[in-house]
Each structure stands twice: as C-alpha cells, then as structure tokens.
Amino acid sequence: MLVAGILPNTRYFDSRFDLLQVQIDELRRNQDVIKENIGEFKHDVDRGFNEVDRRFEQVDKRFEQVDKRFDQVD
C-alpha cells in the first residue's frame, strides 16, 4: 500500500508518453514545413542568380558593342 502511494500508476506514464508522442509528431510536422521553406528559398535564390547572370550577359554584350565602336573610331 505504501509503495502504491509513492510510485505513479501506469496511467500517469501512458499520459506522459502520449504527450511526448504528440510533441514528437509536432516537431516532425514543423521539420517538414522547414524543409519545404528551405526548398522554396533555394528556388528563389537560384532564380535570382539566374537573373543576375542574364543581366551580366547583357552588360557584356553592351561592352562588346562599345569596343566595336572604339575599334571603328581608331
């Protein structure tokens, strides 16, 4: 009897394990959301770099045109 009053019953442990499982499930869902967000961020960064590359190509073409004009003047 004395030991039964000191040690928690199995329902206590079950409820604690259920709470832990809920927390683990929530962490996994959050992890999945974070992975999706990172994927979207990577896509946006890649798109931004592609835009910068395209602009550099345009600038290179303009420099080539200016070089041709200088060659014509010389």
- Give the confidence band of 3 by pLDDT, cuts at 50, 70, 90: low
More confident residue, 11 or 34: 34
The pLDDT value given to residue 1: 44
The pTM (predicted TM-score) of the whole model is 0.58
Report whether pLDDT(13) > 90. no
Task: Give me the number of domains the chain comprises.
Answer: 1
Dihedral of CA atoms 48, 50, 54, 60 in degrees, nearest 10, equals 100
Region class of 23: left (phi > 0), else alpha (psi between -120 and 50), else beta: alpha
Q: Is residue 26 part of a domain?
A: yes
Q: Is residue 7 part of a domain?
A: no
Q: Is residue 16 part of a domain?
A: no
Q: Is residue 13 part of a domain?
A: no
Domain that holds residue 42: 21-73
Q: Is residue 53 part of a domain?
A: yes
Q: Is residue 25 part of a domain?
A: yes
